[in-house]
Amino acid sequence: MLNNEVSSSEKAGAIYFNKTKSLCPECLDVIDASVYEKKGQIMIEKTCKKHGTFNDIYWSNAEQFKRFSRYIHDGNGITNPNASNGNCPHSCGLCSSHKTTTILANIDITNRCNQNCPVCFSNASSSGYLYEPSLRQISAMMQMLRNQMPMPCPAIQFAGGEPTMRDDLIQIIEMAKGFGFKQIMIATNGVKLAGSLKFCRDLLESGLNTVYLQFDGVTEEPYRINRGYNALKTELGAIENCRTAGLKGVILVPTLVKGVNDSQVGDIINFGINNMDTVFGVNFQPVSFSGRIDMEKRIEKRITITDFMELVERQTDGAISAEDFYPVPSIVPISHLQIADYGFSEVEFTVHPHCGAGTYVVFEKGKMTPITRFIDVDGLLEDVDELASKKHKWLGRYLGRIIRMSSLYSKLPKYIDNEKAPESIDVKKLLSTLLLTGTGNVINGSDRNILFIGAMHFMDLYNMDLERTKRCGVHYATPDGRIIPFCTYNTIHRAEIERKFAVPMINIKAR
**What pLDDT, on a 0 to 100 scale, did the predictor assign at position 346?**
72
pLDDT band at 345 (very low <50, low <70, confident <90, very high): low
Q: To which H or E segment does residue 15 belong?
A: strand 15-23
**What are the residues facing 30 on neighbouring strands?**
23
Question: What helix, strand, coil percent values describe the chain, rounded to 5?
Answer: 40, 20, 40
Task: Report the alpha-carbon angle 501-80-354, nearest 5.
Answer: 80
H helices, E strands: number in the chain: 18, 18
Q: What does the pLDDT read at residue 371?
A: 95
Model pLDDT, residue 8: 39
E-strand stretches of 260-355: 279-286
Q: Give the pLDDT confidence score for residue 408 in this predicted structure.
A: 79
Q: Are 150 and 344 within 8 A, CB to CB?
A: yes
Q: Give 89 or 342, the one with higher predicted confidence.
A: 89
- What is the structure's pLDDT at 409? 81
Please report, to the nearest 10 degrees, the dihedral formed by the alpha carbons of residues 198, 239, 169, 480 taken in order: 180
> Is the predicted pLDDT of residue 354 greater than 70, yes or no?
yes
Angle between helices 305-315 and 265-274 (to 10 degrees): 70
Beta strands of 29-91 (E only): which ranges? Answer: 30-38, 41-48, 52-59
State yes or no: pLDDT of 334 exceeds 90.
no
Mean pLDDT throughout 93-108? 92
> How confident is the model over 56-91, as pLDDT tens digits?
999 999 999 999 999 999 888 888 888 766 788 988
Question: Residue 438: left if φ>0, alpha if ψ -120 to 50, beta else—which one?
Answer: left
pLDDT tens digits along 426-452 = 898 888 877 776 655 555 444 679 999
Query: Which helix (H) or strand (E) covers residue 454, if one does?
Result: strand 450-456
Highest mean pLDDT: which of 2-6, 144-148, 418-422?
Answer: 144-148
Q: Decide if pLDDT at 509 tops 90.
A: no
Least confident of 62-76, 118-132, 410-424, 472-486: 118-132
What would the mean pLDDT of 356-360 be, rounded to a whole number?
97
The predicted structure's pLDDT at residue 56: 94
Distance separating alpha carbons of residues 260 and 265, to the nearest angstrom: 11
Assess whether pLDDT exceeds 90 at residue 122: no
Mean pLDDT of the chain: 88
**pLDDT number for residue 398:** 58
Number of C-beta neighbours around residue 396 at 10 A: 9
Least confident of 269-273, 357-361, 399-403, 470-474: 399-403
d(CA 386, CA 383): 5
% pLDDT > 70, the chain: 87
Task: Answer yes or no: is pLDDT of 492 > 50.
Answer: yes
State the pTM of this model.
0.92
What is the per-residue pLDDT across 230-247, written as a single tens digit (0 to 9) for each? Answer: 999 999 999 999 999 999
Domain boundaries, the chain: 8-69, 317-450
Please give the full DSSP string across 313-329, using - where no structure is assigned. Answer: HHHTTTSS-GGG-B-GG
